[in-house]
Structure 1
Amino acid sequence: MQDSSTPVASDLVLIGGGHSHAIALRMFGMQPLPGVRLTLISDVTHTPYSGMLPGYVAGFYGYDEAHIDLRRLAEFAGAQFYRTRAIGLDLEAQRILCDRRPPVAFDWLSVDIGSTPVAAAVPGAAEHAIPIKPVPQFLGAWEQLLAEVAAQPDSLWRLAIVGGGAGGVELALNVQHRLHEVLQSAGQSQDRLELHLFHRGKVLLKEHSRWVGDRLQRILTARGAHIHLNEDVREIFPDKVVCASGLTADCDRAFWVTQASAPAWVAASGLATDARGFVLVGDTLQSVSHPRVFAAGDIATMRDRPRPKAGVFAVRQGRPLFENLRRCLQVRPARPFVPQRRYLSLIGTGDRSAIASWAGLGWHARWLWVWKDRIDRRFMEQFEHLPAMTASSAPGLASVPANADLRHMYCAGCGSKVGSRTLGRVLQRLEAVDRPDIAIGLEAPDDAAIARIPTGYAIAHTVDYFRSLVSDPFVFGQIAANHCLSDLFAMGAAPQSALAIATVPHGTPAKTEEVLYQLLAGSLEVLSDCNAALVGGHSTEGSELAFGLACNGLVPEDAVLRKGGLQAGQVLISTKAIGTGALFAAHLQRLTRGRWIDEAIASMLMSNRVAADCFRAHGAAALTDVTGFGLLGHLHEMLRGSATNAAVGAEIDLDCVSFLPGAIAAVRSGATSSLHPQNAEVARFARCTDAVRQLPQFQLLFDPQTAGGLLGAVPGDRVSDCLDALQAAGYDSARAIGRVVRADNPTRPIAIDSTI
């Protein structure tokens, strides 16, 4: 992430993880700009590379070979990564409207979100057809179809592809190849697949030479595909395609690969667009109506040099986009980019051969596939094997011009506080819960908040504060709030109020305000969900983003849950998978996949509130949250707290413990949290074989968790009902992981077993 020893002065936001942005991000990682906060907004973490997509469909490439890991790339570039979907622009206020989160401010903006096939004009297409774009949506439907065919290979599978351009024909060939393989592996004939290709033109691939179109038509026909030329699809039904000529074809799936269009919000934002809604840009790739907005890839149309919507142009625009963004940020004039007029197309035919198309020429050979494969792999290697960064080249560590060097002017003590006007503007933008038992809160500028405690209730206090482990301050605010409130839930308390403690990176007042707003907005979303009031806090500027809450909760005096209620015969239930510490340690070393971090974040965003209710409803006698000391460390605390009644121990079945995707791989790679060695000291209280101690799963028992789950003990006859309730509430990783027993060996009360 950006090292804020350089004050943030400008926000560059990239919407979309297309090819141009991927190249630009890599180049920003190699040549960072001090004082520039870079942010990537994308609704996916892994973006497919168009050159390998047909081969992925055919089964020639694995998922990671054909996708760029945007989270990992953003980390390398020193960029904040916001996993969300842009839904509009407020160009006057220079803000990006996003799905289910606050707007994001920008000084400079670049858009590279690709395109989608036009389907709205054909009845039923939007409801029943599967568009080839957005690609992640298509791939989800494709994987589901593969699973269904594999499960029912003896059925007749009828598919339709609408669109006879290069995309539709290449998809048809590769879909056919993959499904034929699935059928053959199940001992079924290729006749179990019936493939129809519909095209309104007289020839396939009219944008290429006649030889190329004829060659591909012969290949499809020879493989048993039904090609319908001069056919306008009039309507799509769940089980058939109807053409204007009266032709009807039964089908189980229809894939839509027609002329591309832009999302409606692009034109609605006020940006100048062409007739199909694509952003009109000049030779510098800047919007012709809003020069602070750039666009590249399919979403852009060069006004004076229009080119087809092809991946080759998006790749070629990556470097000039980076250079012009950099020049504008440095207040230098942008340079024009002139795309080539002719380009080579290599079209895979689904059998590890390819057709080359150049102007009026064409050629079909297996060596062309080998050549194409080499080109595509070389392109992807630059994102998989990112160069190691040195201190002098790492993002945010470059020197600042003398007239902008503010690093030695920041004060300590109360001089480091966020300014009152900045803080006031942030608070005006927030909507906190209003509770009648809060006598004095945010609405009054007093020195302290005042809360009332009902008769018969006790007040529970807890505080947590830590550095950000994600680059999105809104998401970090949510995670931190969940983590901080978890102690209250574990003791049976209902949150009442919270005081925020925030450190935001140095920047101009406007940049500080934006980060603090995103941070507090995220935490307020969690606080409001459990009816807790934010009543005040303290904020400072510092070298990096950090946040925490001092939380108060109310609990009936006779209903306090403690760690120390373990008794022999109880069953231990854990509500979440573990591994956040190892995953984020590996992420810092770029040893993870973005989707693993997505899973970890999703787990951390799940509140423990409902889980605590489930435990109470099913007779839990002891409860704790699994956080910094790791699963085994917190279990040991429970055993120590229960020793006043009778010596108890625990038997843990390691095979039943849930681990986050990628956590085991992270440990195997050698990545563990900096707190892991201290946590592992509790291993002296555990009994297990040497073989178990060598397992990465064993090491993860000491992994510190951020916003981890709950660990509770319930009576043996209530376990099944408790697990059913937890899983019905969304805690999919809830498991019974062991049981409480009499302590035969009080000095080593924890026994761990595994059949792995």
Structure 2
Amino acid sequence: MQQPQQPPGLPALRDIVLVGGGHTHVGVLKRFAMKPEPGVRLTLICRDTHTPYSGMLPGYVAGHYGYDEVHIDLRRLAEYAGARFFADEAIGIDHGARTVLCRSRPPVPYDWLSINIGSTPRMDALGGGAEHAVPVKPIHRFNDRWQTLLRRIEAHPGRTRVAVVGGGAGGVELLLAMQYRLGRELAAHGRDPAELSFALFTRGERILPTHNARVRAQFRDTLARRGVEVHTATEVVDVAAGRLQAADGTWHGADEIVWVTHAGGADWLKDTRLALDDDGFIQVDDTLRSPSDPRIFAAGDIARQVNHPREKAGVFAVRQGRPLADNLRAVVTGRPLRPYRPQARWLALISTGDRHAVASRGGLYLAGDWAWRWKDWIDRRFMARFNDLPPMTQDAMKAPARSRVALDEDESAQAISALAMRCGGCGAKVGATTLSRALATLEPVAREEVRVGLHAPDDAAVVRVPPGKDMVHTIDFFRAFIDDPYVFGRIAANHALGDIFAMGAEAQTATAVATVPQGLEAKVEDTVYQMMAGAVEVLNAAGCALVGGHTGEGSELALGFAVNGLIDSGSADEDGRSGTALMTKDGLRPGQALILTKPIGTGTLFAAHARLAARGRWIDAALTSMGQSSRQAANCLREHGATACTDLTGFGLLGHLVEMTRPSGVDAELDLAALPLLEGAEETVAAGILSSLQPANVRLRRAIRDQPAWVEHPRYPLLFDPQTAGGLLASVPAERAEACLEALHALGYARATLIGRVLDPGVALEPIHLTDGHLRGDLQT
């Protein structure tokens, strides 16, 4: 599959930042994917990688669809569009600095900003709402709450009263879907569906107030036929455990309360200078731009078109995708914006939970199973636009040869310089002013041994070696494998520190070397800042002082560190092998257990990510694993008697284990069934998607005894999968292995696993024995 991307060598000239992964923004991403705008860099900031399509949510709740059928994979779509995906949550805007403030990363600069974050439930004024009600919005968070509610009802036999608050189409449709699903689940477990009772509450005089009388009558009859109590003109003002209160003071029994009403804008918007309506939604003009800040657009439920107010419905968010994309493209190229007028009437297909639906549009009323099949066809076709990403056609790839982005005189000069032939040698350094600004706000941890470092920069750092300590040196460097410089910086630092921790040492100082693609100074500065901010966070947490470095121009973003560590002197035994403090590769002892502290699979997963063949949640989990420090794991292993340790990196599990068996003079057994794998790794390997380093690692297959017998095992290729910021592989006394694993799990290494054992050397040349599921019993024996 061919992936859209910016023309090679063209620097980012303007940043469009999309906050939120709503229906409008997925449309914007797809349109920019099919027709890239040279020089424009898109960045999507969204807490969740998978965003649900609201039109299919009731069908998902009813059990008609699986999770992936109703969710759009934002990370994959962003990759397809050549956009950066930042997994985070916006919490503010600095209008002066033109940055988006995020919950857990540095501010993200924008030239133009668009907000599509949906609505937020108004639970603050509702007593007990946060503790006892399940809000449907924001919709992208509903799945976790629904699964919890589902498990809770299934686990507690007996009468359960479910209340849905909200009498619009969304509330009625969701109630019927829940009733259908829960009834079938109880019946499947041999329980009586009559254990469940349902009630609908609305402060309006009638249900579905925006639909015609025949549609309302249809749903009144359906609710009555299914035994649902309907309370109209009943405003819920308080909720408590097992009940809710109406405005007239009446209490109604309700064990589970689902809230599908009273939504408004996110609270953080109040602290911006954006014009908001009475419900906290962003006011926008006919071009979807904020009248109070012309660099900011908004769409979907979070926006209110001042001249064309409409109810909150997914159809408007979907249809705003094209005009928003067109106006964002126009604003960066200096062309006039075009107004968008939403339709006054629209088709709504409202399901009744049981593969039956009602069509409503103005005075139109139609109903039947065929209507549900029609809705199903429409919804699946919509989802296919974003999940079944087609190869790019030649026509779609005909982007302008030159960027159309409007630049001022200084920016034009910088852009020309970025595309011109660049100098080598010291002429390839990033400018001192740009670099100093980027690093000015970073605060590396201070260590008293550092006599000359970033606090007083010189030609080199000067670091004192404390008495009784030996130095441990390591270096790592690699190019970026993900389009988030902050996350990349964190993982690069974590990867470099792994060697220090594996030796049982503490990290002391680090010197960085980075390459950054040339571009406008402001863009280069921010890239350096984001990357080094992530790295310094990790180094500081490890007590490692950043004391210097070098940053130069390159075709790709890359980062590495030379790290120095400290370990107690004289920590080797009489034979020169590792003692209690120093853990080396030659310390394996027969009879010991082999423990791996993290799952494997990063190589195949990121190879798949580059091909758009990995699910976003697989990449999320891999990044989380790669971002976990091995510092505490190393201390734990040492406390439980580990005598040998290494961190898993480019040579893969087999390569690093062979590096340990050879100098130790032992054999080792690996249990393929016990290997902890990152989610998705087995699937991508099965699809034949492997890292580019895999062939070199496979040459070590000759170290496996009876190797041909294992080639067809589904986990066999993962023995050679290169890891980035992988876990620690260590040997501990067998009798202490279980206690060690319990301690590792308590420290947060949830996937730490016993994967093998150390054997006496055999007569055969091959040191590695493979097994499939027999390890733990053998060790206990």
TM-superposed CA distance for 1:194, in Å, is 1.2
Compared CA separation, residues 572 and 289, structure 1 to 2 (3 A)? same
State the partner residue of 1:205: 208
State the partner residue of 2:575: none
TM-superposed CA distance for 1:215, in Å, is 1.4
SS in 2 for 1:155: coil
TM-superposed CA distance for 1:384, in Å, is 1.3
Compared CA separation, residues 89 and 464, structure 1 to 2 (3 A)? same
SS in 1 for 2:496: helix
Structure 1 segment 302-451 matched on structure 2, within 5 A:
302-389=305-392, 399-400=402-403, 405=416, 406-451=418-463
* 1:503 maps to amino acid: T
State the partner residue of 2:689: 671
Compared CA separation, residues 396 and 157, structure 1 to 2 (3 A)? farther
Quick check: 1:698 aligned with 2:701?
Answer: no
Pick one of 15, 18, 22 that aligns with 1:11: 15
* 2:27 maps to amino acid: I
Pick one of 632, 644, 652 that aligns with 2:654: 632
Bigger shift: residues 467-476 or 407-416: 407-416
State the partner residue of 1:103: 107
TM-superposed CA distance for 1:234, in Å, is 2.2
TM-superposed CA distance for 1:393, in Å, is 6.2
* 1:615 maps to amino acid: L
Pick one of 580, 602, 610 that aligns with 2:602: 580
Structure 1 segment 79-228 matched on structure 2, within 5 A:
79-152=83-156, 154-228=157-231
Quick check: 1:43 aligned with 2:47?
Answer: yes
Measured against aligned partners, the alpha-carbon deviations of 1:395-417 in whole angstroms (never above 9, x if no partner) come to 99954469755423322221121
TM-superposed CA distance for 1:266, in Å, is 1.4
- CA distance, structure 1, for counterparts of residue 753 and residue 327 of structure 2: 53
- CA distance, structure 2, for counterparts of residue 468 and residue 390 of structure 1: 28
State the partner residue of 2:544: 532
- CA distance, structure 2, for counterparts of residue 592 and residue 254 of structure 1: 36
Pick one of 279, 283, 293 that aligns with 2:282: 279
TM-superposed CA distance for 1:119, in Å, is 2.3
State the partner residue of 2:627: 605
Report the TM-score when normalising by structure 1: 0.97
**Unaligned residue ranges in structure 1 (runs of 5+):** none
Question: Given that residues 576 and 658 in structure 1 are in contact (C-alpha distance below 8 angstroms), is that contact kept between their aligned partners in structure 2?
Answer: yes
State the partner residue of 1:517: 529
- CA distance, structure 2, for counterparts of residue 167 and residue 401 of structure 1: 43
- CA distance, structure 2, for counterparts of residue 249 and residue 649 of structure 1: 69
TM-superposed CA distance for 1:136, in Å, is 3.4
Question: Given that residues 33 and 82 in structure 2 are in contact (C-alpha distance below 8 angstroms), is that contact kept between their aligned partners in structure 1?
Answer: yes
Pick one of 277, 281, 304 that aligns with 1:301: 304
State the partner residue of 2:617: 595
SS in 2 for 1:671: coil
State the partner residue of 1:654: 672
TM-superposed CA distance for 1:601, in Å, is 0.5
Quick check: 1:494 aligned with 2:506?
Answer: yes
**Unaligned residue ranges in structure 2 (runs of 5+):** 406-411, 572-580, 775-781
Compared CA separation, residues 656 and 19, structure 1 to 2 (3 A)? same
TM-superposed CA distance for 1:445, in Å, is 2.8
- CA distance, structure 1, for counterparts of residue 683 and residue 439 of structure 2: 43
Bigger shift: residues 3-12 or 476-485: 3-12
TM-superposed CA distance for 1:382, in Å, is 0.9
Structure 1 segment 453-468 matched on structure 2, within 5 A:
453-468=465-480
Quick check: 1:737 aligned with 2:740?
Answer: no
- CA distance, structure 2, for counterparts of residue 478 and residue 394 of structure 1: 34
* 1:131 maps to amino acid: P
- CA distance, structure 1, for counterparts of residue 232 and residue 61 of structure 2: 24
State the partner residue of 1:59: 63
Compared CA separation, residues 240 and 5, structure 1 to 2 (3 A)? same
* 1:110 maps to amino acid: S
SS in 2 for 1:339: coil
- CA distance, structure 2, for counterparts of residue 126 and residue 575 of structure 1: 37
Question: Given that residues 56 and 66 in structure 1 are in contact (C-alpha distance below 8 angstroms), is that contact kept between their aligned partners in structure 2?
Answer: yes
TM-superposed CA distance for 1:691, in Å, is 5.1
Compared CA separation, residues 286 and 745, structure 1 to 2 (3 A)? farther
Report the TM-score when normalising by structure 2: 0.94
SS in 2 for 1:660: coil
Measured against aligned partners, the alpha-carbon deviations of 1:377-403 in whole angstroms (never above 9, x if no partner) come to 000001111122479967999544697
State the partner residue of 1:686: 704
Structure 1 segment 715-734 matched on structure 2, within 5 A:
715-734=733-752
- CA distance, structure 2, for counterparts of residue 700 and residue 401 of structure 1: 46
Compared CA separation, residues 506 and 726, structure 1 to 2 (3 A)? same
Measured against aligned partners, the alpha-carbon deviations of 1:308-357 in whole angstroms (never above 9, x if no partner) come to 11100001000111111001111111111111111111101101011111
- CA distance, structure 1, for counterparts of residue 64 and residue 525 of structure 2: 49
Question: Given that residues 674 and 773 in structure 2 are in contact (C-alpha distance below 8 angstroms), is that contact kept between their aligned partners in structure 1?
Answer: no
* 1:550 maps to amino acid: A
State the partner residue of 2:557: 545
TM-superposed CA distance for 1:149, in Å, is 3.1
Quick check: 1:289 aligned with 2:292?
Answer: yes
TM-superposed CA distance for 1:669, in Å, is 1.2
* 1:666 maps to amino acid: T
SS in 2 for 1:547: strand
Measured against aligned partners, the alpha-carbon deviations of 1:471-510 in whole angstroms (never above 9, x if no partner) come to 1111110111100000000011101111111111221111
Compared CA separation, residues 589 and 391, structure 1 to 2 (3 A)? farther
**Aligned-pair identity (%):** 52
Question: Given that residues 701 and 707 in structure 2 are in contact (C-alpha distance below 8 angstroms), is that contact kept between their aligned partners in structure 1?
Answer: no
Question: Given that residues 54 and 139 in structure 2 are in contact (C-alpha distance below 8 angstroms), is that contact kept between their aligned partners in structure 1?
Answer: no
TM-superposed CA distance for 1:429, in Å, is 1.4
SS in 1 for 2:75: helix
SS in 1 for 2:55: coil
Question: Given that residues 6 and 36 in structure 2 are in contact (C-alpha distance below 8 angstroms), is that contact kept between their aligned partners in structure 1?
Answer: no
* 1:299 maps to amino acid: I
Measured against aligned partners, the alpha-carbon deviations of 1:263-285 in whole angstroms (never above 9, x if no partner) come to 01113211111111111111111
Aligned residue pairs: how many? 751
- CA distance, structure 2, for counterparts of residue 396 and residue 753 of structure 1: 54
Question: Given that residues 38 and 404 in structure 2 are in contact (C-alpha distance below 8 angstroms), is that contact kept between their aligned partners in structure 1?
Answer: no
TM-superposed CA distance for 1:755, in Å, is 5.2
- CA distance, structure 2, for counterparts of residue 574 and residue 117 of structure 1: 44
Question: Given that residues 333 and 404 in structure 2 are in contact (C-alpha distance below 8 angstroms), is that contact kept between their aligned partners in structure 1?
Answer: no
Question: Given that residues 649 and 741 in structure 1 are in contact (C-alpha distance below 8 angstroms), is that contact kept between their aligned partners in structure 2?
Answer: yes
TM-superposed CA distance for 1:692, in Å, is 2.9
Measured against aligned partners, the alpha-carbon deviations of 1:194-247 in whole angstroms (never above 9, x if no partner) come to 111111112101111122122112111211111111212121002211212343
SS in 1 for 2:319: helix
